[in-house]
Amino acid sequence: MTDMLHGTTSLVTGAGRGIGRAIARRLAAEGSRVAVHYGTNADAAAATVDEIRGAGGDAFAIGAELGVPGDVERLWAAFDEALGPGATLDVLVNNAAIGSSEPLATTTPEAFDRVFAVNVKAPFFLVQRGLDRIRDDGRIINVSSGVTRIALPETLAYSMTKGALNTFSFTLAHELGARGITVNAVAPGITDTDTNAAWLHGEARAHAASYSAFDRVGEPDDIADVVAFLASPAARWITGQVIDATGGSHLGAAGLR
């Protein structure tokens, strides 16, 4: 590691497990003090904090369920309580999200509202209410998805939320450029997380791996490395972009890899 984030503070939402945990570990390994956000699973967040501290890093957990009234206010209140009045932030990673596996015909208004509340509304207002905390030359990184360029009808509402997050990223990049704050999105493909563990094995895993040019499923660290680069000073001239981190998924016609 390069210690390239020494002296900074980062906040990673949904950092109790999976990609969020990997991102939190990676940023901490680069010297950042990391706020490990969780929605309802305090034990998972505590495990992430323990891993970071065990490796010599600095981290603390903050809890606030997203997608419910008062979510953003509670999250920032927990952040301020942990760090004290006037706390500032260098890197914000909007990673927390929920999935939706219903096609158009069976998606209910309640399910639609819920996935948008967590995946779009929460990041939007987290940024809005946090801009006075984010330092000039800071970083905002939104975790999107490869489904924004690969049509999957069975995840339509979820895919729409990630498309909205991409638009949010490049529009916000334009607005915050005067402060030197970069805003980018990272779009993972199928990734080997505990969320996918129930189905990502055997023939299903082999089929998922075949989507990628590398013939494998992504690992959380594959995504964390991209996020760490975007958080670093080396990415100062990159903003308003969606970085495809799908391992080259669906680059060719189906069955013609």
**Ordered strands of the 242-245 beta sheet:** 58-63, 33-38, 9-12, 89-94, 134-143, 182-188, 242-245
What residue spans define the domains of the chain?
Answer: 9-245
The confidence score (pLDDT) of residue 2 equals 72
Q: Is 158 a catalytic residue?
A: yes
Architecture per CATH, domain 9-245, reads as 3-Layer(aba) Sandwich (3.40)
The amino acid at residue 57 is G
Q: Which residue has the tokens 């590691």?
A: 1
Region 123-144 average pLDDT: 98
Kind of pairing between the strands at 242-245 and 182-188: parallel
Is the model's pLDDT at 174 over the cut of 60? yes
Tokens of 182: 């970069």
- The pLDDT tens digits of the residues spanning 181-233 come to 999 999 999 898 888 888 888 998 998 899 999 999 999 999 999 999 999 99
Is the model's pLDDT at 256 over the cut of 80? no
Residue 255 banded pLDDT, cuts 50, 70, 90: very low
Question: From the CA atom positions of the chain, what is the Rg in Å?
Answer: 18
Helices (H) and strands (E) in the chain, counts: 8, 7
The rounded percent of the chain whose pLDDT value lies above 70 is 98
Tell me the C-alpha distance between 65 and 57, whole Å.
25
CA distances to 9, 68, 212, 220 from 96, in Å? 18, 14, 24, 14
Region 115-129 average pLDDT: 98
Q: How far is CA 156 from the centre of its chain?
A: 19
Is the model's pLDDT at 257 over the cut of 70? no
The confidence score (pLDDT) of residue 158 equals 95
Task: State the DSSP H helix or E strand holding residue 59, giving kind and residue range, or none if neither.
Answer: strand 58-63
Region 45-58 average pLDDT: 98
The confidence score (pLDDT) of residue 1 equals 61
Catalytic residue among 38, 79, 116, 158: 158
Region 41-67 average pLDDT: 98
Residue 253 banded pLDDT, cuts 50, 70, 90: low
Is the model's pLDDT at 122 over the cut of 60? yes
Is the model's pLDDT at 135 over the cut of 60? yes
Across the chain, mean pLDDT equals 94
The amino acid at residue 152 is L
